[in-house]
Amino acid sequence: MLATCLSDLRRSAHLLPPEIAEFIAGEAAMAAAERVDADDHLKARLTIRMLEGAALCAKDGSGVTDFIRVTGDTVLFVPAFAGFSNFVGAFSLPADDPLVSEVTAALARNLASPMAKAARAWPRVSGTVCRLMHARHHDCSKLFGAVQQQTLAAYPKPWTDDHFRSAAAAARVAAAAFSDRHWARLTRRVQWICDARTPGFAGPYTAAVAAFLCRELPALEAIYSTPLCTGASC
């Protein structure tokens, strides 16, 4: 799954900073991604790092058990992030593996964090925004038509240029009505919630994920003796 994500990032390498694009394009990065895909312990370590920077997709009252499935002596972790793709994927560990408690603790910290609060607020706020936007567009359309008709009424026989002028005047009035302080405050809140859900992945999605992998894949070398990636690209 991570190798697929890396392949997708390579198609957008021209949008990335040079040093990150070089890492993403390197064979060492792909080898590291393939090794992570094949090793659930590496998936667990990388997921812990993701949980520090992206909120889980949790409703009010959700707990750690919503992202864990226990089958016999195996624990399956299925973390899902709010508005963010889990490019590491699900993974399973033996029930007696020390990493189980580490991942469980990371899930609990995530659910208690401010970013989780922002993620839970998102459905309510986004629904309000959609309703207000629909109503505002309707009001602005009516206002646009009224202003245009009022402007054209000043011309006994309006020509094409008069229609253009009336449309421009109506557009200015409608835009001013659409950009009041309440609407600006609401859009700022929406942007704040979007940023607060994923504080560890700031900026555009592609660049944020690429920067995360560029930073975290080499960092896993400190945990495992065999390097995950080698060469200048690391």
C-alpha radius of gyration, the chain, whole number: 25
Paired tokens of 26: 């390197």
pLDDT of residue 233: 43
Can you tell me the distance from the alpha carbon of 64 to that of 25, in angstroms, rounded to the nearest whole number? 36
- Nearest by Cα to 57 from 67, 48, 70, 49: 67
Can you tell me the distance from the alpha carbon of 84 to that of 99, in angstroms, rounded to the nearest whole number? 24
Distances in Å between the Cα of 9 and the Cα atoms of 91, 95, 178, 209 are: 22, 34, 37, 8
- Residue-by-residue pLDDT tens, the chain, 234 positions: 889 999 999 998 888 899 999 999 988 889 889 999 999 999 999 999 999 999 998 776 678 989 999 988 999 999 998 878 899 999 999 999 999 999 999 999 999 998 888 888 877 776 776 776 666 666 667 767 777 677 777 666 766 666 667 777 777 776 666 666 666 777 777 777 777 888 888 878 888 899 999 988 887 765 554 444 544 444
Other C-beta atoms lying within 10 Å of the C-beta of residue 119? 26
**One-letter amino acid of 69:** R
Residue that is written with structure tokens 């590291």 in the block: 32
pLDDT of residue 230: 44
Distances in Å between the Cα of 72 and the Cα atoms of 10, 96, 104, 180 are: 40, 11, 17, 58
pLDDT of residue 221: 63
pLDDT of residue 172: 73
pLDDT of residue 204: 83
